[in-house]
Amino acid sequence: MTDPLEPERRSGVDRRQTDRRRVRSHAEPERRSGRDRRVVEARREADQVSVDSISLGRRLRQPRTILSLAIPIILLVLIFRVALNVDVNELADGIGRSNKLLILAGFVVFYLGFPLRGFRWVLLLRGTGFRLRTRDATEIIFLSWLVNCLVPAKLGDLYRAYLLKINSPVSLSRTVGTVFIERILDLFAIAVLGLAAGFWSFRNGLPGEIQVVAAIGVAVIVLLALGLLTLRNFGRRILVRLPIPHRALELYDRFEEGVFGAVGIRALPRLVVITGLIWATEALRLYLVVQALNFPGVQLGLSGAVFVALIGSLLTAVPLAPAGLGVVDLGMAGILIAAYGTTLSQATTIVLVDRTISVFSIIVLGSIAYAVSSKRRGAGLTGPVGPDPSGSPA
């Protein structure tokens, strides 16, 4: 005789088995998500940058930072005033007789370069699959230039990646990759435009000093091309053979994504045009300064302004002082005297006014921007950020 409770018992067993299966099925995703969380946390930890190591305020309080600012200024004063006996009254008279509207125009042209730099960085980040507004990119770049004007060794580039990291979910190492390829684009532009301007400016015959600079420019282009080729084809193979931790390989992979993912075939023409416009603002600033001072017998021309401005920008890469202080000033003055026949006083005045616009105005205006900016506190960006639907996820 069939027990009428048997179906209920079986259904009870089935229910308990079903419940256990449900518990297991819910627990497995939790275990998987736990593993995923640990992986994400490990990646975040790998990307984490110490606030103390990047903090601008902390850096400025360090004695070596103060010395890196003070020593080049003292040396410049000693070189120009004591060793070279530059007449301060002559400097003041040259600046006083200058066309202030043209100097203002040079100031405006120089600052037009920042939105262009911001837009270029937006395009580079978009190539890696991350979207960012030009306004936010421009503000972050401007703050990073303030750091480069106050702290040596181009720490502003790392500070830029740090600011984006604390204000968005983007990978730090990938962001550093975009900053790196941006610098490569700049160096290519400086070398190519500088060579073209030098040959045009001295088409009747290159002085010996300019021939040396031209040879350095060619060497820079060749070395950059070889470096990128090696990085693209052999970078990871070399690192795999080295006794380095797996975390370092992960960081390198994301850095390489930032470097080569940022520059695609479709985006490259726009990046080239924008980079050219950026460096045109640098050259036009110096040209307007020379025109404003209007020294008799000084015929720099637009090609000469391009050449001297790009040489000065190239010298900022020397990591001895903030914004290449001292090295850039002496280099630009030397080129103006040796290649363009300016007097020591004229060259010093040109460099002083130009560097006031390109360095000291950034220290003043950048300090104001730093004081009011919410990005240094990681308060977020003004627009939507995240993976670009048209690109790969960041």
pLDDT band at 69, cuts 50/70/90? low
- Element containing residue 131 per DSSP (H, E): strand 130-131
pLDDT, residue 338, reads 84
Mean pLDDT along residues 350-375? 92
Q: How far is CA 190 from CA 237, 280, 282, in A?
A: 31, 11, 11
Distance CA 5, CA 183 (A): 80
Q: What is the pLDDT of residues 352-361, one digit of tens each?
A: 999 999 999 9
CB 274 within 8 A of CB 116: yes
Q: What is the pLDDT of residues 328-337, one digit of tens each?
A: 888 899 889 8
Q: How far is CA 199 from CA 70, 188, 207, in A?
A: 37, 17, 11
Could you give the percent of the chain with pLDDT greater than 70?
63
Mean pLDDT along residues 1-11? 45
> Which stretches within the chain are classed as H helix?
6-47, 51-54, 56-61, 63-77, 88-96, 100-127, 134-150, 155-167, 172-201, 208-240, 246-261, 268-293, 301-315, 327-340, 344-355, 361-372
Q: What is the pLDDT of residues 170-218, one digit of tens each?
A: 877 778 888 888 888 888 888 888 878 877 777 666 666 666 666 766 6
For residue 386, what is the DSSP state? E
- Token output for 203: 């088409």
Q: Which residues contact 208 (CB under 8 A, 6 or more apart)?
A: none
Least confidently predicted of 29-33, 121-125, 351-355: 29-33
pTM: 0.74
CB 168 within 8 A of CB 385: yes
- With 0-12 CB in 10 A as exposed, 13-18 as middle and 19+ as buried, what is 224? middle
